[in-house]
Structure 1
Amino acid sequence: MTSYPRTLAAAVAAVALSAGATFAQTPLDGRWSATLTINDTPIPFRLDLATANGQLVGTLFNGEETQTTTRATRQGDAVELEFGHYLTTIRASVADGGLTGRVEQRNGQPGGSPFRAVRYVAPPELSGSVPSIAGTWHIPFEPGKESPKGEKAWRFIVKQQGAEVSAAVLRIDGDTGALTGRFVNGTAVVSHFDGSRPGLMELTPQADGTLRIQSRGSNRDGHYIAYRPEVARAKGLPEPADASAHTTMRDPNEVFAFNFPDVNGRLVSNEDPRFKGKVVIAIVTGTWCPNCHDEAQYLVQLYKQYRDRGLEIVALDFEEPEQQDELTRVKAFTKKYGVEYTYLIAGAPIEMWEKVPQAVNLNTWPATFFVGRDGRVKRIHAGFAAAASGEFNTALKREFTETIEQLLREPAPTSAAQGK
């Protein structure tokens, strides 16, 4: 009689151990090769999962830069990875050692896009040499055509280490993020998803020295031909737009004015004491805009570096009407990036021209206004070329810091002269 409970207890323990062993066979930690399918195009991307202090964390990659989850959970075989600052959620189930589910994006397909992930396996080493496509290229539009922003050409920046390739299109708004991949059979296949702006490109060098680009899985699908800049100039092809000359002021002598509520509903204007006599960076921005995410992370650094010397930053944020009540994404955005500068809710994107009427040809997200101590705009920079843009990101940072340094050296106007 006494042996029966012991046997039963042993059997229960064995079942528990077996169940535990089964659960342990499907851990999530590690690197995954994931795909997001848009318009029947599977877009590969890297997904890392890790558990720290009992908390699951998901990481997506934009070249060497990363985006981590604002919330991540696992309940049994159900996994949920939330990137609240993008309003993007990956919902998946663990099955057969992989993950299957959907990616839901605020501006994505209704019901989300198919998602799959398997354990990462390093690709085999390629034998032989691969073409060299590193450097800057120009992508001109066909004669008589231009982008919706009035551009006649884009830049295309490629970084390469052997067969490994990273590439980005740089438009007047900013870049596409770093699409990464490698050469296979003479074509480099690169792709990207960091919670937003998914896309895939096939890059094939041509015998005439040009680069054929096939873009898939984004709103800019199609074929493009890229030329080395010196070749494009020799052919008389159009140049990419100048980000420092794209947007101008209607009247350079007019004080840059704004008056919008902050996230708590309190009105803040350029007349607020925090801005008087200060150098101000005013940004036309929106948390739905990936390039605005890129810029915000840099502005956080600038604010820490220069605020004690007299710099203020104010975001004039334009959100979709359905986002303006709860400001869900705005709050996740400012928390995620540690935004400490003034953040104002200016209206909906379609209202930008009405709410910022002093600017001419204002059509980029973001647009950065450098305002001197006298309240007048000294420089406007269209878009934001992030780290994926290589030397153009370096040049942008140099332009921003030199402009700030120059404006900070200017004396503050007297109270009688300021605002006239």
Structure 2
Amino acid sequence: MKVKLSSFLQPAAFFLLAILLLQAGCIEVDNRFSGLPPGVWRGVLELEPKMVTPNPKGEPLPEKLGLSFEEVTNGELPFNFEVVYTDDTTFHLEIMNGEERIVVKDITIGLDRATAKDTIVINFPVYDSYLRAIYEENIMEGEWVVNNRGEAYSIPFVAQHGKGHRFTTLRKTPAADLSGKWAATFAVESKDEAPYPAVAELAQDGNHLTGTFLTETGDYRFLEGTVQDNKVYLSCFDGAHAFLFEARIQEDGSLLGSFRSGKHYRTLWTAKKDEGAALTDPDELTLLKPGYESIDFSFPGPDGKVLSLDNPRFQGKAVIVQLLGTWCPNCRDEALFLKAFLEQHPEYPLEVVGLAFERYREKDKAFNAIRRFQENLQPGYPILLAGFDDKSEAAQALPMLGQVRAFPTMIILDQEHKVQRIHTGFNGPATSAFQAFSEDFESFIANLLQ
């Protein structure tokens, strides 16, 4: 039912609304109606508090290396979205990151009893996160909340209607054209983690910059930003991750920058132009322990039923075992890839099963996360709860593996259930590697099933 409430609620309607409120400070959740102006909006996640506090190890990271970013406000992660109406009362959001458009339809608007102001909740059900904001005319102000990171994980959020730029409206002449491949290293000068390699794939058109970073565990999504003089800015927001890259073009043409993931992770990175830049073969990163030819598993699904590799549904069939987390966008990309492959090849004696490692230790919450993932993606294969989101615990759950380096990891078994390939990470449609992997995967499975 489509319901549109005016800002002047009749007493009876207000009484009914109050009954439906779940608790003080909650909004009415059943009636969805139009309210946001259509068109482009500019959203900002405020990673830095208004009163900037130095980090425990010294000065804030950019200042430490003399990286000043005067074109933008420190700690602001911008993204763009469009409000699209399908009729007079029904609308959805489309979050824009480069070529990617993420459609979000789970939107609720109502009167917040605690503030007596119109409030909107934009849910990302697959990732168990949401944007909640008070809105007045052309402005929204609130927070982004990620439930599976704990009750305290939220980041202030603001948005303005009619603002089409991402980082800045400035048009400073770029100091260089960054288009091409770059050999990058993250976590440089870090005392907390070992440096790790990456390959940047960038495309620049004037001031406009798009691209991504490929790592050995997956890619950093569709990034979009700008080059202003010798400063570089890229960002991505997809409901699960909030990535902010800032860098300076050095005199020798290399890049030196800062990378933030939400408010919980921050590190330095460097990059040098290198069209031959490459990473370790993803089929060589995760291996079976000596003496093993196969794997074994026995885990419950959301329905409570335990599924094992010796189940009749798997007999005589090749099996793809996907290690994933429903909180992981790269896992989502891989799940959609596998879903499409199964739909294209119904004749193949092939099964897929997902082993989920979730960010909830409480089983009921973990099962709910899996249900949401299945309901939204409809992957066409079962997903079982294998454990908690911890790579060492994942290795214990599958002790025949030498280690678990990444979510996702794809283990391909032949029809006798011997391991033929283990593919670590997933470089999705934001990368140049995606098409090549798709073609190789198609050929590999065809040969496996001959």
Aligned to 1:72: 107
* Counterpart check, 1:290 vs 2:319: no
Residues 55, 328 of structure 1: alpha-carbon distance in 2 compared, 3 angstrom cutoff: farther
How far apart, in 2, do the equivalents of 1:152 and 1:62 lie? 25
* Counterpart check, 1:381 vs 2:416: no
Residues 252, 174 of structure 1: alpha-carbon distance in 2 compared, 3 angstrom cutoff: farther
Q: Which runs of 5+ in 2 are unaligned?
A: 1-7, 10-33, 50-74, 112-117
In the TM superposition, 1:256-271 aligns within 5 A as: 256-271=295-310
In the TM superposition, 1:20-419 aligns within 5 A as: 27-40=36-49, 41-52=75-86, 54-69=89-104, 71-75=106-110, 77-106=118-147, 107=149, 110=152, 112-123=154-165, 126=171, 131-140=176-185, 152-218=196-262, 219-229=264-274, 240-251=279-290, 254-322=293-361, 324-326=363-365, 327-350=367-390, 351-389=393-431, 391-409=432-450
In structure 1, give the amino acid aligned to 2:376. K
1:262-287: CA deviations, max 9, x gaps? 22011111112221121211111111
Q: CA deviation at 1:387?
A: 1.8
Q: Root-mean-square deviation (CA), in Å? A: 3.0
How far apart, in 2, do the equivalents of 1:111 and 1:349 lie? 17
Q: Secondary structure at the match of 1:256?
A: coil
State the number of aligned residues.
Answer: 380
Q: CA deviation at 1:211?
A: 1.9
1:335-374: CA deviations, max 9, x gaps? 2112111211112234311211111122211110111111
Q: Is the CA contact (8 Å cut-off) linking 1:200 and 1:215 kept in structure 2?
A: yes
How far apart, in 2, do the equivalents of 1:71 and 1:323 lie? 25
Q: Secondary structure at the match of 1:207?
A: coil
How far apart, in 1, do the equivalents of 2:143 and 2:326 lie? 22
In structure 2, give the amino acid aligned to 1:158. L
Residues 144, 189 of structure 1: alpha-carbon distance in 2 compared, 3 angstrom cutoff: closer
How far apart, in 1, do the equivalents of 2:276 and 2:353 lie? 42
How far apart, in 2, do the equivalents of 1:140 and 1:99 lie? 37
Instruction: Flag the structure with larger Rg.
Output: 1
Q: CA deviation at 1:198?
A: 0.6
Residues 317, 159 of structure 1: alpha-carbon distance in 2 compared, 3 angstrom cutoff: same
Over the matched positions of the two proteins, sequence identity in percent amounts to 26
Q: CA deviation at 1:58?
A: 2.4
Using the size of structure 1 for normalisation, the TM-score is: 0.82
How far apart, in 1, do the equivalents of 2:395 and 2:154 lie? 32
Using the size of structure 2 for normalisation, the TM-score is: 0.76
Q: Secondary structure at the match of 2:440?
A: helix
How far apart, in 1, do the equivalents of 2:133 and 2:207 lie? 32
Residues 102, 125 of structure 1: alpha-carbon distance in 2 compared, 3 angstrom cutoff: closer
Q: Which runs of 5+ in 1 are unaligned?
A: 1-14, 17-24, 233-238, 410-420
Q: CA deviation at 1:33?
A: 0.3
Q: Is the CA contact (8 Å cut-off) linking 1:130 and 1:163 kept in structure 2?
A: no
